[in-house]
Amino acid sequence: MFIMSNENRYNAIIRIHCPDKEGIIASVTNFIKKYSGNVVALDQHVDISNNHFFMRVEWEMESFQLPFDEIEKQFQNEIADSFQMHWTLNSTKQHPKMALFVSRLSHCIYDLLARYQAKELEVEIPVIISNHLELKPIAEQFGIEFHHFHITKENKEDQEEKELILLKEKGVDFVVLARYMQIISPKFIESYPNNIINIHHSFLPAFAGAKPYHAAYERGVKIIGATSHYVTENLDAGPIIDQDIIRISHNDSIKSLVQKGKDIEKIVLSRAVKAHVNRKTLVYKNRTVIFN
Amino acid sequence: MFIMSNENRYNAIIRIHCPDKEGIIASVTNFIKKYSGNVVALDQHVDISNNHFFMRVEWEMESFQLPFDEIEKQFQNEIADSFQMHWTLNSTKQHPKMALFVSRLSHCIYDLLARYQAKELEVEIPVIISNHLELKPIAEQFGIEFHHFHITKENKEDQEEKELILLKEKGVDFVVLARYMQIISPKFIESYPNNIINIHHSFLPAFAGAKPYHAAYERGVKIIGATSHYVTENLDAGPIIDQDIIRISHNDSIKSLVQKGKDIEKIVLSRAVKAHVNRKTLVYKNRTVIFN
Amino acid sequence: MFIMSNENRYNAIIRIHCPDKEGIIASVTNFIKKYSGNVVALDQHVDISNNHFFMRVEWEMESFQLPFDEIEKQFQNEIADSFQMHWTLNSTKQHPKMALFVSRLSHCIYDLLARYQAKELEVEIPVIISNHLELKPIAEQFGIEFHHFHITKENKEDQEEKELILLKEKGVDFVVLARYMQIISPKFIESYPNNIINIHHSFLPAFAGAKPYHAAYERGVKIIGATSHYVTENLDAGPIIDQDIIRISHNDSIKSLVQKGKDIEKIVLSRAVKAHVNRKTLVYKNRTVIFN
Amino acid sequence: MFIMSNENRYNAIIRIHCPDKEGIIASVTNFIKKYSGNVVALDQHVDISNNHFFMRVEWEMESFQLPFDEIEKQFQNEIADSFQMHWTLNSTKQHPKMALFVSRLSHCIYDLLARYQAKELEVEIPVIISNHLELKPIAEQFGIEFHHFHITKENKEDQEEKELILLKEKGVDFVVLARYMQIISPKFIESYPNNIINIHHSFLPAFAGAKPYHAAYERGVKIIGATSHYVTENLDAGPIIDQDIIRISHNDSIKSLVQKGKDIEKIVLSRAVKAHVNRKTLVYKNRTVIFN
């Protein structure tokens, strides 16, 4: 008996944005058809107020008559140039490398690592970084390298530089701040543009900044939320990837808000990470398109 | 002063389903491009388990080089035949004619008529039909013809026949059962296949049949729901268009379930009607595709 | 045959707040027991950070050995004085009188009037007031007096004075701003403290002020909301009664946000009005307790 | 320096149900007041259709003039007898012992163990039991005893007997079936009445039994759910503790339903376990009262 190699059973994904114009979809799908690719997912969006076009298309490489390595050049010449496209190509074989930044709270990291271990998240996790030691045992539980970078006002610049060197060594593609209680410097952010995902424990833009549950309690809201977003230089103001909420009441103390909030924080962060990993996100003018 | 005619400022909509195959999207979008149409919405779906393809595309007619009346023939010859497509063509100028069937409860009819009056629903409502007289004043409030068909076991067949004649006279395209408490006969259903929308006051398939709130109370559920669906011969088993839920507790009596349920019934029904009116629904094998 | 009079079949409701102390619940329930009252609902809450106690108790008057008119004096002497209670007494026979303020949008007023007509809301509505004429036909549909007060910067003070005189004439107990697009003056607010309910079309405190849907679109949120609250001098900052949300996506234009938002605005406003009418709300330090 | 012992800083909890009658709340709160207890939570409910009363009251023991050991006798004599109460007494010092039953899926067990390790769940977990070996490493990660009981049709009775002996040895108070894919025998259930919590991956009563996600997919629902309930002899028909749902669409394959469902399964199960552990649940006539 002969077992077919799975090596060619993967998909290519292209994400595009460009000025809207007649015939973009036809051109892109013709390109794939021409090389005998079979489209398995296509989602497009037109931002009418900006007259801008967005598209994600995924197709099977098994039957595709163009080697993956040559897609970039051909697509650029045949299609992208004429439409002034910004675009990226990925393959589902490439599992992106994710670094986790944590402080003392364990709910988000557990949720992500449990999914990782259950092979629900198609990433590699070469390193977990923290400014505290409390969660080191969890990294060990899952057999992942843990690095401790103690951060003070004075050493922050140095420490971030060392962190960046470590991330580079490990080939990290994107960073997840899983309730990491430090503000990241602009320099760090520039090293990973639209590749740092944060979870903020409020339905942004409400209660940006510190202690959102205390602020929510004071304001007397009847709903609390959590927001995952890409980190930009403006604190808690980056492009939103996902949000969710939970209903509360006057019966809830700040302590119970914190507790209930954890359940949505971890789910919203994991959903955002999954969308990012599956190349379903696209950032444009500080907003996201989240493809199907 | 000269007012520009808006006559050509409308869109064409095509909904398609056919066996999945390479190149469908390219072919359809090429067709539109060829006649200089500008796509404003495109959504497609592949049902992988059935290897079946679904698509809805909407484009502006203003610049389109083919008169609306000729689209049908051209599209059939150029595209549809070769892919064995089932497809329908609509124009946003054609406002479908909707008949409302009601009994005694007013929340759904008020919700629909308020939207209709606010021009939120692009329909015409030539007639409201009821087996009771209680809601006649509401029809009068909105200036809509009201017809009373008293229904008994004995006269049901006759009455439905008269109703069908009336619907035909009025040119009714689809029927909405807005808490109409009668079971529709197969013959009636066959006259409007996938064009009768019902609201059932439970999250189907739970609590199909009579008195779902009583059944929900007895079972002690913590969530109640409402389901809008196309009516088929199998009671409460037709293709689901939309569902929603509301959280309840042991504090809720049957009376308060009924009350809370009304809020989701009317919203879910109105959302379903809107999806139908905007030609965003497609039925296949007793399930719906709801396009963006 | 003899039909029992229903005159005595109503309930009394007491809402209390006072510093927390041992024995409050026992004292209040003993009071009701002493006069043979049967408690049908009791809900209490302790705000631990303020050491403050809240309670709502409702009991049947049919068997109660103290006439309703004497409850106030007896309860004050026997119970309220010793606990320094702030408290109010109501009877379910008294249907509060509600004035509706509207501008041009009809969804909230229709939702409230449809519930009113279906006897779902136990209020009287002696008057609808608007700064525009568009919704006058709806008031007429429901047979309710409509008064038009055109508002300009110059005449605002005068017009509000006239409105207050009208409200007094009609015996209005509370005011509902059903998408009334005017800011109410402090003087007006002082005439109805904790008795003016507004619906704001965002999940406050996010997007307070004008054009919240535009702001939500700009920010790129994935969830929009609506908030009902008591009006205070600080714009959109009064005690929140209820909130709800709906999920949106990058596909939604501002127009579709407005559309989807209407569905939650009307439901959230109606729920708040119902809670107020059923005497289930209590304001303390700019937050609400919403009793079961 | 002198550190106060915390030994007396705990609460007593009484849960009651009995026929409804005047004066129950007054009697119970008088009892607590008499011994100088400070009530920190009180929630009551009247099931009007059954004329049955339910109550949970929690008070601080620090100032209480009756030792915990004597409460049972005194309360029975002074209060419970005259009202024919069914009631239970607990102390927040007693952390109940929970056994986890699992098969191959890890999401629920991870969610529970992560909460346990973060001290969010006030339980002890002396043992994890499985019919498979896959999750043994997770038990080891958290340092919890793991026992493997391979189950076949033939050995089921014997194996369950051994399991019961083990649970007894470990002093287990209640059992959580965290996606344990076996049906528990009536004999086993009788050993833990209202003390076995299951998570079913549908919004019951819809899709009871095997493969609910497949059934949900076939039926074309637009919402899927998860239900935690106490296990009774009737499969998936026991008293419901909590439910939650997630919105899906035609785009979701069975695989993605399974994936999305996991997120609500684990949250719903953990919420149910927390309610049980905090003695907030009460079962009556196959339904639950969930106290605040």
Beta strands in D152-238 (DSSP E): 174-177, 196-200, 223-230
pLDDT in tens, C148-162: 999 999 999 999 999
Which has the closest alpha carbon to D228: D200, D209, D205?
Answer: D200
Beta strands at C11-19 and C38-47: parallel, antiparallel or unpaired: unpaired
Per-residue model confidence (pLDDT) at position C48: 81
Would you call D36 an interface residue with chain C, using a CB distance cutoff of 8 Å?
yes
Neighbours of D154 (CB within 10 A): 8
The verdict on a CB contact (< 8 Å) between A107 and D118 is yes
- DSSP character string of A185-229: PHHHHHHSTT-EEEEESSSTTTT-SS-HHHHHHHHT-SEEEEEEE
| Cα C61 from chain centroid (whole Å) | 24
Judge whether A103 is closer than 8 Å to chain D, CB to CB. no
Q: Which residue of D has its CA nearest to A121?
A: D259
Asked whether the beta carbons of B115 and B87 are under 8 A apart, the reply is no
Give residue C4's pLDDT: 42
Report the catalytic residues of A. 236
Q: Is D29 at the interface with chain C, CB within 8 A?
A: yes
Q: Under a CB-based contact definition with an 8 Å cutoff, are residues D28 and D39 in contact?
A: no
**Interatomic CA distance for residues A237 and A240, integer angstroms:** 8
Note the pLDDT of residue D38. 86
**Which residue of B114, B259, B262 is in closest CB contact with C106?**
B114
8-state DSSP, A246 = E
Q: Do C205 and A221 touch (CB under 8 A)?
A: yes
The span from the CA of C28 to the CA of A14, in Å, is 69
Give the number of C-D residue pairs with CB atoms closer than 8 Å: 42
Q: Residue B30: which of A26, A42, A48 has the nearest Cβ? A: A26
C246 touching D (Cβ < 8 Å): no
Residue D8 in this model has a pLDDT that exceeds 90: no
CA of B76, closest CA in chain D: separation in Å? Answer: 27
Question: Chains meeting A at 3+ CB pairs closer than 8 A?
Answer: B, C, D
Q: Which residue has the higher pLDDT, A187 or B40?
A: A187
> Does residue C7 belong to the interface with chain D, where contact is any CB pair within 8 Å?
no
Question: Using the beta-carbon criterion (under 8 Å), do C29 and D33 form an inter-chain contact?
Answer: no
Active-site residue, from B236, B242, B244, B263: B236
Among the residue ranges B19-33, B166-180, D59-73, the one predicted with the least confidence is: B19-33
ipTM confidence score: 0.95
User: What pLDDT is attached to residue A23?
Assistant: 83
| Chain B partners (3+ C-beta pairs within 8 A) | A, C, D
User: For residue C26, which residues of chain D lie inside 8 Å, CB to CB?
Assistant: 26, 29-30, 32-33
**pLDDT tens readout for residues A222-268:** 999 999 999 999 999 999 999 999 999 999 999 999 999 999 999 99
% of chain B with per-residue pLDDT over 70: 98
Mean per-residue pLDDT, A275-279: 98
Provide the shortest C-alpha distance from residue D60 to chain B (in Å). 26
Any idea what the Cα angle at residue A191 is, between residues A190 and A193, rounded to 5°?
60
Identify the three-state secondary structure at position D241: strand
CA closest to A252 among chain C residues: C47
Q: How far is C49 from chain D (nearest CA, A)?
A: 12
E runs forming strands in B164-286: 174-177, 196-200, 223-230, 240-247, 281-284
Q: List Cα–Cα distances, C229 to A249, C56, D23, in angstroms.
A: 14, 20, 36
* Type of residue found at C160: E
Rounded to whole angstroms, the Cα distance separating A239 from A228 reads 9
CA dist B213 and D94 (Å) reads 39
Contact across the interface for B114 and C117, Cβ inside 8 Å: no
Mean pLDDT within A122-144? 97
Cβ neighbours of residue B136 closer than 8 Å, sequence gap 6 or more:
B130, B146, B148
Mean pLDDT to the nearest integer, D82-99: 97
Q: What percent of chain A has pLDDT over 90?
A: 89
- Considering CB atoms only, which of C48, C204, C222 is closest to A240? C222
Sign of CA dihedral B99, B104, B107, B108: negative
Q: How far is D192 from chain C (nearest CA, A)?
A: 32
Looking at the partner chain, which of A111, A251, A292 has a beta carbon nearest the beta carbon of D292? A251
C130 in Cβ contact with C103 (< 8 Å):
yes
Ramachandran angles phi, psi of B111, nearest 5° = -65, -40
Question: Which region among A31-35, C23-27, C129-133, D75-79 has the lowest average model confidence (pLDDT)?
Answer: C23-27
Residue of D20, D47, D158, D236 marked catalytic: D236
Q: Which residue of chain B comes nearest to D241, CA vs CA?
A: B222
The pLDDT of residue D23: 83
SS3 D254: helix
Cα B7 to chain centroid, rounded: 26
Q: Is B141 on the interface with C (CB under 8 A)?
A: yes
Percentage of the residues of chain B whose pLDDT score is greater than 90: 89
> What is the band of D6 on the pLDDT scale with cuts at 50, 70, 90?
low
On whether the CB atoms of residues C123 and C98 are closer than 8 A, the answer is yes
* Cα distances (angstroms) measured from residue B85 to each of B24, B147, B194: 10, 40, 18
The packing angle between helices B254-277 and B107-117, to 10°, is 30
B286 confidence band (pLDDT: 50, 70, 90): very high
- pLDDT exceeds cutoff 70 at B56: yes
Sheet holding C240-247, edge to edge: C146-148, C124-130, C97-102, C174-177, C196-200, C223-230, C240-247
Helix-strand-coil split of chain D, %, nearest 5: 35, 30, 40
Please say whether the beta carbons of D240 and B221 come within 8 A.
yes
pLDDT in tens, A147-186: 999 999 999 999 999 999 999 999 999 999 999 999 999 9
Contact A291, A280 (CB under 8 A): yes
Q: State the pLDDT at residue B4.
A: 42
Q: Are B127 and B145 in contact (CB under 8 A)?
A: yes
How do residues B203-223 score in pLDDT, each as one tens digit? 999 999 999 999 999 999 999
pLDDT of residue A41: 87
Is the pLDDT confidence value at A8 over 80? no
In this predicted structure, what is the pLDDT of residue C5? 46
- Helices (H), strands (E): how many in chain C? 9, 13
pLDDT category, D4, cuts 50, 70, 90? very low
Using a CB-CB cut-off of 8 Å, the residues of chain B touching A43 are 43
- A46 to B37: CB separation less than 8 angstroms, yes or no: no
Query: A27 and A79 in contact (C-beta within 8 Å)?
Result: yes
Min Cα–Cα distance to chain D from B21, Å:
18
pLDDT higher at D101 or C50:
D101
Which DSSP symbol is given to B3? P
Please indicate if any CB of chain D lies within 8 Å of the CB of A50. Answer: no
Q: Which two tokens stand for residue D105?
A: 């899926």
Q: What is the mean pLDDT of residues D216-224?
A: 97
Exposure letters B66-101 (e unless 16+ CB within 10 A, then b): beeeebeeebeeebbeebebebeeeebeeebbbbbb
Catalytic positions of C, written as ranges? 236
**Above 50 in pLDDT, residue D5?**
no
D249's tokens: 């669409």
Asked if the C-beta of D247 comes within 8 angstroms of chain C's C-beta atoms, the answer is yes
- D26: Cβ–Cβ under 8 A, 6 or more apart, which residues? C26, C29, C30, C32, C33
- Is D236 an active-site residue? yes
What is the model's pLDDT at position B156?
Answer: 95
What backbone phi and psi angles, to 5 degrees, belong to B82?
-70, -25
- Work out the pLDDT band at B96, boundaries 50, 70, 90: very high
Q: Best residue in A46, A51, A194, A250 to probe C by mutation, most C CBs within 10 Å?
A: A250
What are the average pLDDT values for consecutive 10-residue runs of chain C, which has 292 residues? 59 97 88 91 87 94 95 97 97 96 97 96 97 97 97 95 98 98 95 98 96 97 98 96 97 95 98 98 97 92
Task: Choose the closest CB to A106 out of D114, D263, D270.
Answer: D114
Terminal Cα-to-Cα distance of chain C (whole angstroms): 39
- C-beta neighbour count of B198 within 10 angstroms: 24
Distance CA D25, CA D16 (A): 11
Burial C246-273 (b: 16+ CB within 10 A, else e): eebebebeeeebbbbbbbbbbbbbbbbb
Tokens of D32: 């607590």
Note whether C42 contacts D37, CB cutoff 8 Å.
no
Quick check: C251 and B292 CB within 8 A? yes
Q: C84 — contact with chain D (CB < 8 Å)? A: no
Smallest Cβ distance to B42: which of A25, A32, A48? A25
- CA distance linking residue D238 with residue C242, whole number of Å: 33
Nearest-by-Cβ selection for D25 from C22, C42, C46: C42
Could you tell me if B120 lies within 8 Å of chain C, comparing CB atoms?
yes
| Contacts of D84 by beta carbon, 8 Å cutoff, 6+ apart | D18, D19
Contact criterion met (CB below 8 Å) for C145 and C139:
yes
